[in-house]
Amino acid sequence: MKKILIIIFTLSFFSCTNLDETIYSSIPSDKFFTTEEEFLMSAGRVYSHLLGYTHYYNIWGTITVSTDEALSPFRQFNQWDDGGVWRDLHAHTFTPDHDNIYQTWSFLFTGISLCNQILYEFSQATLDFPVKESMIAEIKVMRAWFYFNAIDLFGNVPFTTDFTDISVPEQKSRAEIFAFIEEELKENAGLLPDSPSSSYGRATKPLAYTILAKMYLNSEKWFGTPKWQETVDACDAVITLGTLQIEDDYFANFKVNNQSSKENIFVIVYDKVYANGGNWARRFRFHQLTLHWESIRTFGILDETWNGFCTSQSFFETFDLANDYRSSTWLYGPQYEASGAPLLWYGWQVDFTPEVNSLFDMSNPAGHNQGVRFAKYEYENGLQGECMSNDYVVYRYADVLMMKGEALVRQGKAGLAVPLFNEVRRRTGLPDYTESDLSLEEIYAERGREFAWEGSRRQDMIRFGKWTAARDFKLTEADNHTELFPIPARARTNNSNLNQNPGYPN
């Protein structure tokens, strides 16, 4: 007995010393990438990453609220100030510590890193499959799009294309990166499909040329080097494909089921079931952002809405409410329930008024129903789950036609531009343009009406010289340094190679 016990005690000292981990509900990286589908499922992250684009704290909110087309006033009962992020964007008083600008930066550079990493995975693949080459081209075009946004918003930015290089990236100039994007797009466009519908929600040839057109269009503003003819050529590269056309109904592009639009070039594909982002920061939630608490009874929405964003009075007044079909972009005046009964809050009918008391004045805050609301995207009856199923439109064919038109006007060829503008304008109910109508001022205003809340306004305001001028709740700026956002302080803490943009505290 005693001996046996001693043996047991002794044995226990020689037990195992193996500390390997057993993994159950995730996958060791070296066990993946054995099939075509596994590569695709990894590459698809570029597109699921895009779901963050429309979030109000992300790039869409940043480039929209900093223009005259949207604001989020401090509303009575201390709501919607959020520490001043919205008023700082709207009044151009943002600093390198601005959180939304950091979120925007993160979105873009995470996208770039994601592309680098996916391209690295493809480069390591021993497996060959039919779509490998075009998939690589797609990822490169998407990376170019992230870089295009990065130089548009921030100017000189960190640059790397090699995932294996773990050093902190150097900052490259806007011009150097411009050249990189230009080359990358031209090299890869040919490998992509001609039609957005066959490759819905992903990078296609029309997308590559649209990005190129946008780069050229802004070249004069960015570098003082006009590239109007290059703009026209890039637009023509889209037009001559013949895969796109202007929808007869303007709002067909924004319906719940807008995947049938022939006009949309590049969309972010949302779906309340399959693509709801998985978390709060990646849902398409314009309904929550702009609608009044009570408006849910107008649209039969089952989510809560937050009574936040609205448009500015001056921007709203650029619309010819009586005649312009696009005026239904806005929700204004007395509101009704779906049944037709007045929409009541506290017994008072909700009535959206264009004027807003103040952007931020605690003693005279904006009222709960001040500011005209956004309703360009169809609000789905019975919507639930915080994510709309409409696909967010990043670029439309109308933009290509109007960019070409603008480049022609700027080249002094307004005559050639007239049919392009009218092809878009025909459906609005407004009279056709004639050559003399097409001043830059009019093009600017028309772009505003056509692309309200579509992410185009910031570039337009800068390109047309409107960005620094006084407008509702913003003074005239002393210089134009806000045409670039500050490089976020947090990004500079992590990367000491980054110099701050001029005009911002270092």
Partner 1 sequence: MNIHVRKKFVVILFTAVMLVSSAYVGYTQQKRTVKGKVVEAASNMPLSGTTVNVKGTNSTVISDADGNFSVTAASGDVLVFYFMGYVTQEIVLSDQSQIDVLMVEEINQLDDLVVIGYGTTTKKEVTGSVSSITSNDFKSGNITDPVQLLQGQIAGLNIIRSDGGDPNGSFQIQLRGRTTMSGGTSPLIVIDGVVGGDLSALSSNEIQTIDVLKDGSAAAIYGTRATNGVILITTKKATPGTNRLEFSSYVALQTVDKKPEMLTADEFRAALDKYGLGNSADHGASTDWFDQLTQTPVTQNYELSSSGGTRSLSYRAGISWTKDNGLVKKSSKESLRTRVNVSQLLVNDRLRLDYNAAYSTAKSVYADTYILRQAMFHNPTEPVYADENTPAQYGNYYYVGAMEYYNPVAMLEQFDDSGLRKQFTGSINASLSIIDGLKANTLLSFTETSERYGHYYGKYYPIGIGNNGYAETYNNHGKYKSLESYLDYSASFNDHRIQAIFGYSYSEQWSESYDAMNYKFDTDLFSFYNIGAGAALKDGLASMSSSKSSNKLISFFGRVMYNYKEKYLLTASLRHEGSSRFGSDHKWGLFPGLSVGWRLANEPFMQNVKWIDDIKLRAGFGVTGNQEIGNYQSLAILRKGSSNFYYNGAWLSTYEPGRNPNPDLRWEKKQEFNIGFDAAILNNRLNVNFDFYNRRTTDLLYTYSVPVPPNLYSSTFANVGTIDNKGVELTLSGTPYVSKDFKWNVIGTFSHNTNKLVSFSNDIYAMDALNLGYFGDDLKIYTMRIEEGWSLGNFYGPKFLGFDDNGGAKYEDLDGIDGITEADYQIIGNAYPDFLFSLQNTFTYKNFDFSFLLRGSVGNDVLNQTRVYYEGPAYLGTKNILKSSLDSDYREGAYYSSRFIEDGSYLKLDNITLGYNLSIKSPYISKLRIYLTGQNLFTITGYKGIDPEISLSGLQPGIDWYDFYPRTKTFVLGVKVTF
Under 8 Å between Cβ of 492 and 498 = yes
80 or 250: CB nearest partner 1: 80
List binders of partner 1 among 181-210 (CB under 8 A): 199-202
Position among 36, 79, 353, 442 found at the interface with partner 1 (CB under 8 A): 79
Q: Which stretch binds partner 1 (CB under 8 A): 156-164, 184-192, 216-224, 476-484?
A: 156-164
Residues between 114 and 143 that touch partner 1 (CB under 8 A): 114, 116-117
166-170 contacts: CB < 8 A, separation 24 or more? 168/494, 168/495, 168/496, 168/497, 169/495, 169/497, 170/497
Query: For partner 1, which residue of 172, 297, 463, 471 counts as binding (CB under 8 A)?
Result: 297
> Cβ-count burial of 137 within 10 angstroms (0-12 exposed, 13-18 middle, 19+ buried)?
buried
Nearest of 292, 310, 365, 316 to residue 71 by alpha carbon: 310
Count of residues engaged in binding partner 1, rule: CB under 8 A: 103
At which residue do the structure tokens 């709207």 appear?
A: 90
Report DSSP state, residue 87. Answer: H
d(CA 225, CA 174): 13
Burial of 348 (0-12, 13-18, 19+ CB in 10 A): exposed
Helix (H, G, I), strand (E, B) or coil at 471: strand
Does 168 engage in binding with partner 1 (CB under 8 A)? yes
Q: Tell me: does residue 80 bind partner 1 (CB under 8 A).
A: yes
Q: What residues numbered 332-371 form the site for partner 1, per CB under 8 A?
A: 344-348, 362-363
The residue within the footprint of partner 1, chosen from 109, 222, 286, 421 (CB under 8 A), is: 109
Judged by beta carbon, residue 278 or residue 419, the one nearer partner 1 is 278
Q: Is 110 among the residues that bind partner 1 (CB under 8 A)?
A: yes
3-state secondary structure of 464: coil
The site string for partner 1 over 404-443 (x = CB under 8 A, - otherwise) reads: ----------------------------------------
Among 170, 229, 248, 278, binds partner 1 (CB under 8 A): 278
> By C-beta, is 95 or 314 nearer to partner 1?
95
DSSP string, 220-248: HHHHS---HHHHHHHHHHHHTT------S
Confirm if 477 and 470 have CB atoms less than 8 A apart. Answer: no
Q: Which is nearer to partner 1, 165 or 435 (CB)?
A: 165
Does position 8 interact with partner 1 (CB under 8 A)? The reply is: yes
Site for partner 1 in 10-39 (CB under 8 A): 12-13, 15-30, 32, 37-38
**What residues are paired with 330 via a beta bridge?**
374
Tell the smallest beta-carbon distance from residue 55 to partner 1 (Å).
13
Does position 166 interact with partner 1 (CB under 8 A)? The reply is: yes
Query: What minimum distance in Å lies between the beta carbon of 285 and partner 1?
Result: 14
Give yes or no for residue 277 binding partner 1 (CB under 8 A): yes
Q: Which H, E and C letters describe 343-375, residue by residue?
A: CEECCEECEEECCCCCCCCCCCCECCCECEEEC
Q: Which of 45, 132, 186, 481 binds partner 1 (CB under 8 A)?
A: 45
Please tell me what DSSP assigns to residue 249.
Answer: S
Q: Which is nearer to partner 1, 96 or 448 (CB)?
A: 96
Q: What is the DSSP string of 307-318?
A: ---BB-HHHHTT
